[in-house]
Amino acid sequence: MSGLPGFLIDDRLHFPSCPSQGGQRFLVEMAAPLTLLLVLAVTIRAALFRSSLAELIAERVEVVSPITAWKRVVEGLALLDLGVSPYSGDVFHETPLIIYLFHFVVDYAEITFMLADVITAVALYMAVKDYNKQVFRKQKFALEADRYPLDCLELIRSPKEMYYIPLKVAMFYLLNPFTILSCVAKSTCGLNNAVVALFIFSTIKGNTLLSAIFLCLATYQSIYPLTLCAPAMLYLMQRQYIPVNFRRASFWWFIAQYLFMYLGSLFVLICLSFFLLGSWDYMPSVYGFILSVPDLTPNIGLFWYFFAEMFEHFRLFFLCVFQINVFFYTIPLSVKLKEHPVFLIFMQLAVISIFKSYPTVGDIALYMAFLPVWSHLYRFLRNTFLVSCVLLACSTLFPVLWHLWIYAGSANSNFYYAITLLFNVAQVGQPGRSQRRLLIESLTETPCSPLRKSQNEKSY
Amino acid sequence: MAAHRCCFPVWLFILCSFSLFIIAGSQETTVAPEQHASVLDNPQTAAETAEQTAGESGGVEERRWEGTEVRDAAAQKQAEPAVLQPTPQPKDDFQEELVVRPLHSGDIYASFQFRTLWETDFMRGNKVSHYRLFPKSLGQVISKFSVRELHISFTQGYWRTMQWGQPYLPSPPGAELWVWFQDSVTDVDATWKELTNVLSGIFCASLNFIDSTNTVQPSASFKPLGIGNVTDHRFLRYATLPREIVCTENLTPWKKLLPCGSKAGLAVLLKSEKLFHSSFHSQAVHIRPVCQDWQCKTTSWELRQTLNVVFDLHNSGQGKREWSLFKMFSRTLTEACPLASSSKIYIDITDNPEGEQFELSPATSLLSQAMVLGDRRTFSVYDLTQQDTFGSVRSLNLLIRWKSTEGDMLRPLLHAERYVAGYGLQTGEIHTLMYNHHPYRSFPVLLLDSVPWYLRLYIHTLTVTSKGKDNKPSYIHYQPSKDRVRPHLLEMLVQLPPNSVTEVTVQFERALLKWTEYTPDPNHGFYVGSSVISSLVPSTVAMDTNSTRERPLFSSFFPCKEESSYFVRVYTEPLLVNLPTPDFSMPYNVICLTCTVVAVGYGSLYNLLTRSFQIEEPSPGLAKRIANVIRKMRGFPGTMG
């Protein structure tokens, strides 16, 4: 035993969520604040649905995109009622499953969207709790094996602070104004978030089949979650103690298994959509629309103004350059972060929400919910204050400059564009900075690095 | 689908009555007497009325009635839609006429029609190479593109229905083109594209701007006006260019299509400096196949060139309310076109039976009566083929001198208007108001709206209300738009209750376009073509059931078919809609700035992916560092910790 103080081992290793003892009690203890949080969140949303603000919010371009706008879903339903294929026009771009879902629940749309938010929050809550348990177990082993250098002790997480992290995650999601706006606008982004959250939950629980199915649903909804495939496989392999080694058969066998389940369910979904509508019209209308960005309605992303001002003969080139950004970082990030698949999921979500073609604030809310998970590393963040101020200022300036441009006519498009640009600069730093702090963390946690060993020996 | 099927008889009827009104307008037609005896009834009635009028006016002059026939619609239905001349006649035939209608607003409406009829067949593979009266350029267009019917109009100004009544030939502001192709055409879109380009050259107009983004295929509003009952709207193309400006360069090629050019006949009057100094100007070309005889064994091609002008003499008349041919057109007539088989001028004197409103000189004794737009109109006729029309001065200068300014016009039974509501550049709402002024009868109208793709219509926001109540359309044909490919098409059959306003509203969203897609004057706005409202309107004649006319009692109980309703097409105003614009001056800046942000994102990720973290050794003090340097210089390996 090195110079580790005794209280550390005594206090910190007693993690209350240990299933062997007091599981029942814990459930009751934790369920109360969560329920309270859910009730509060639902109340806020219900109140906003009833207010006159709901209509205003539903029109906001920051909150709804041409894909996720509720108005367009209703339009799709109206077209279906008229006997016109919803995909014959360029108004409706949601997937066939969504339109059939709302064909039945259109009268309960508000409840559906609140439910989606609740599902997302609960799934994230459970997932993070499970993840924390594992982190804590790992930390315990490391402590017992005496692998932590003394100067890193302050990074060791105490059960007390970890205890509230799942609740914080749920709170960050449910009470985030971005999520609330998105829900009140009935943006279908909330449903996508729920699917992604369920995917994360089932992955962390280690259920390979459900993970593949939910990932496939998320991909089906908006292509981009495709990149979450890599972290999911990494995590599941880590959990099943399959080494990430290209020369091992077990590695390839697992990959094949997962991809088979993923592609199989994707195939089923696509065929199901085909049989629901009887045509392949939806493929260009949904996926072609996402990839080729024909609709230049302003949003908080980088695409709209860039492609409005693009020279026609360069359009395809820059389209590829911009779209590749989402997929491009997957492999290097997976290599770099293969020990931290959950963090990789977070990174991928952030990259998607920044570089996707029609981003909304709902996408940002999803990855922001993960911030509390790594809260113990905040000290390594740089410019936190500046970045949060910029994000906050931009969020308030969006409606102001929109009003000046569209309604007052005293500003032009450049004003709004400038704000989106600033917003994205602030966001672009986010994954990078988060990763930075995680890398530092991984450095402190890397047990067998020779450098670390020597350092330890030298110090003590 | 059921609604569509129900519509078909209605449409057949519309078709028949429309052709009736056209034929009634062209005065030369005669009917084989054995065809239907009932036809004789009407001229007789008319003659009676004429006698009566003549008697009342104290026998100022003896008026002759031209052998006009107002035809029975029912009989019309039995025969082919367009029954024409009996067989013995030249291979081709040319007629010209001018109708002048003094409007109640004090304006003058002059409508020219030139009709060329040619017994030939452009189809069936035989090459037509010898052209006489029919313009060769159009003949080649018909045969090359397998056109069944072609209607093109260029209009400057907007027809004010509430002030001027219905026009003889309605047309929307800008250019309008609709074509029915033969069913032998395989690639209709390609043919249409080529045809518009060719027509663009023929008429010196920007018809080449017609592409798939402003072309629609109406399912019910535009039916063939000639023979043939093909109603498969795959062979129909309809497009409008509301922005098109009509001027001299369009008039000159149009005049060149006339057999006499502008050298002789009525076309002498068509001088552009006067024609375009008017409130409304519309020129059109209509080509359609018609029957040669009532058995319709062979078909002929009819080319109808029309030109409608409304002169605002009230303003330019130096205080005096009078007009003459010379004042309007700065020319007088000296002869008919030598190639024309008939050349006539009609002056509408219905409101002026005893000359109390205006005085017409030189006076003519020839009168004619026709059913025009559901109303029985009386015309003074000047036959230019008769030498005595020109009198001793060898020139005809018609003169109308107004005596009184009062007199009210019968309100048009159907009229429509349209506007955009809402503020800001994000969303908006199109309101279309349709007025039914009939005191007790409701009638259905077909509304056609073609809206460009950059105004994204939300069909679920469509509301139709009349008299404060929801008025559900019995038939809706909606084709949503495709970005940069095709416009929205909305067709509805709406029943207009009597004496009511029906309001159709639909919301739209304004799209942000690529900077190259804007017109050179983007802040002027974008035009949306007129809505087209087609309807069978109960006629004004049938409106007074308590008929004041002297008619036998047995003939007036059931409404007479020919008078019961008539076909009307009303065009609303085109809309001018503003769209949000990007800043056109800074594509380079935007490309640079956005790329910078993406590069920053890439850079920060790249940085972190390639960077490896090291624990920083606590930096040694200055003395130690110097000592290390000295050690190195002296050749000792390693450093001191």
pLDDT in tens, B345-403: 999 888 777 777 788 888 877 888 887 887 778 899 999 888 888 888 888 888 888 77
Question: Taking the mean position of all CA atoms in its chain, how far away is CA A313?
Answer: 34
pLDDT band at B635 (very low <50, low <70, confident <90, very high): confident
CB contact at 8 A, B436 and B414: yes
A90 and B476 within 8 Å at the Cβ level: the answer is no
A309 and B602 within 8 Å at the Cβ level: the answer is no
d(CA A126, CA A166): 7
- List, as ranges, residues 601-630 from B with C-beta within 8 Å of A: 601-602, 604-605, 607-609, 611, 613-615
Least confident of A21-30, A146-155, B167-176, B246-255: A21-30
| Helix or strand (DSSP H, E) at A404 | none
Burial class (CB in 10 A: 0-12, 13-18, 19+), B513: buried
**What is the rounded average pLDDT of the residues B81-106?**
70
Provide the shortest C-alpha distance from residue B582 to chain A (in Å): 5
CA nearest to A61 within chain B:
B426
Question: Taking the mean position of all CA atoms in its chain, how far away is CA B381?
Answer: 28
| Contact A387/B at CB under 8 A | no
For residue range B317-333, list pLDDT tens digits in order.
Answer: 566 677 888 888 888 88
- DSSP-derived letter for residue A8 is I
Radius of gyration of chain A, Cα coordinates, nearest whole angstrom: 23
| Contact B484/A at CB under 8 A | yes
pTM of the model: 0.83
B601 and A311 within 8 Å at the Cβ level: the answer is no
| Contact B518/A at CB under 8 A | no
As a whole number, the mean pLDDT across chain A is 85
**What is the rounded average pLDDT of the residues A34-45?**
94
Of B319 and B102, more confident: B102
Provide the shortest C-alpha distance from residue B641 to chain A (in Å): 10
CB contact at 8 A, B418 and B172: no
CA nearest to B511 within chain A:
A297
Provide the shortest C-alpha distance from residue A101 to chain B (in Å): 18
d(CA A312, CA B513): 12
Pure H helices in A106-188: 109-144, 159-163, 165-174, 177-184
Least confident of A320-329, B61-70, B246-255: B61-70
**What is the rounded average pLDDT of the residues B397-416?**
79
Alpha carbon distances (Å) from A430 to A234, A323, A391, A425, B493: 23, 19, 11, 9, 56
For residue range B454-474, list pLDDT tens digits in order.
Answer: 999 999 999 999 999 999 999
Cα angle for residues A389, A395, A400 (degrees, 5° grid): 120
| Contact A336/B at CB under 8 A | yes
Predicted confidence at residue B405, as pLDDT, reads 66
B605 and A71 within 8 Å at the Cβ level: the answer is no
A88 and B480 within 8 Å at the Cβ level: the answer is yes
Pick the residue of A150, A296, A357, A437 with the most B CBs within 10 A to test the interface with B by mutation. A296
Q: Does residue A301 lie in a domain region?
A: no
Predicted confidence at residue B71, as pLDDT, reads 40
d(CA A69, CA B169): 45
Q: Does residue A298 lie in a domain region?
A: no
Query: Does residue B102 register a pLDDT over 80?
Result: yes
For residue range A283-334, list pLDDT tens digits in order.
Answer: 999 999 999 999 999 999 999 999 999 999 999 999 999 999 899 889 998 9
CB contact at 8 A, B452 and B526: yes
Q: Does residue A378 lie in a domain region?
A: yes
Q: Does residue A256 lie in a domain region?
A: yes
Neighbours of A422 (CB within 10 A): 16
Q: Does residue A260 lie in a domain region?
A: yes
d(CA B434, CA B253): 37
Q: Does residue A114 lie in a domain region?
A: yes
Q: Does residue A385 lie in a domain region?
A: yes
Contact list, A424 vs chain B (CB under 8 Å): 597, 601
d(CA B234, CA B241): 21
CA nearest to A348 within chain B:
B605
A354 and B582 within 8 Å at the Cβ level: the answer is no
Q: Supply the ipTM of this predicted assembly.
A: 0.88
> Of A90, A431, A458, which has the smallest distance from its Cβ to B482's Cβ?
A90
pLDDT band at B8 (very low <50, low <70, confident <90, very high): low
Least confident of B76-80, B148-152, B395-399, B418-422: B76-80
- List, as ranges, residues 551-580 from B with C-beta within 8 Å of A: 580
Of B28 and A47, more confident: A47
A329 and B605 within 8 Å at the Cβ level: the answer is yes
Predicted confidence at residue B126, as pLDDT, reads 63
> Of B427, B459, B512, which has the smallest distance from its Cβ to A308's Cβ?
B512
For residue range A251-272, list pLDDT tens digits in order.
Answer: 999 999 999 999 999 999 999 9
As a whole number, the mean pLDDT across chain B is 81
| Contact A295/B at CB under 8 A | yes
For residue range A79-136, list pLDDT tens digits in order.
Answer: 999 999 999 999 999 999 999 999 999 999 999 999 999 999 999 999 999 998 888 8
Radius of gyration of chain B, Cα coordinates, nearest whole angstrom: 33
Contact list, A452 vs chain B (CB under 8 Å): 615
Query: Does residue B613 register a pLDDT over 60?
Result: yes
**What is the rounded average pLDDT of the residues A361-385?**
82
| Contact B425/A at CB under 8 A | yes
Pure H helices in B26-97: 41-56, 73-78
For residue range B489-534, list pLDDT tens digits in order.
Answer: 999 999 999 999 999 999 999 999 999 999 999 999 999 999 999 9
For residue range A216-256, list pLDDT tens digits in order.
Answer: 999 999 999 999 999 999 999 999 988 888 888 999 999 99
Ramachandran region, residue A95 (left: φ > 0; alpha: ψ -120 to 50; beta: rest)? beta
CB contact at 8 A, B434 and B445: yes
Q: Does residue A402 lie in a domain region?
A: yes
In chain A, how many domains are there? 1
A428 and B423 within 8 Å at the Cβ level: the answer is no
CB contact at 8 A, B374 and B128: no
Cα angle for residues A214, A424, A415 (degrees, 5° grid): 130
Neighbours of A174 (CB within 10 A): 27
CB contact at 8 A, B36 and B76: no
Report percent pLDDT > 70 for chain A: 83
- List, as ranges, residues 43-82 from A with C-beta within 8 Å of B: 59, 71, 74-75, 77-79, 82
Predicted confidence at residue B273, as pLDDT, reads 86
Query: Does residue B75 register a pLDDT over 70?
Result: no
d(CA A414, CA B594): 12
- DSSP-derived letter for residue B482 is B
Query: Does residue A351 register a pLDDT over 70?
Result: yes
A407 and B424 within 8 Å at the Cβ level: the answer is yes
Listed residue (A78, A86, A100) closest to A279, CA to CA: A86
Neighbours of A16 (CB within 10 A): 15
Q: Where in the sequence is the domain holding A78, given as residue range(s)?
A: 7-293+307-459
For residue range A396-421, list pLDDT tens digits in order.
Answer: 999 999 999 999 989 999 999 999 99
Contact list, B593 vs chain A (CB under 8 Å): 421
Predicted confidence at residue B38, as pLDDT, reads 37
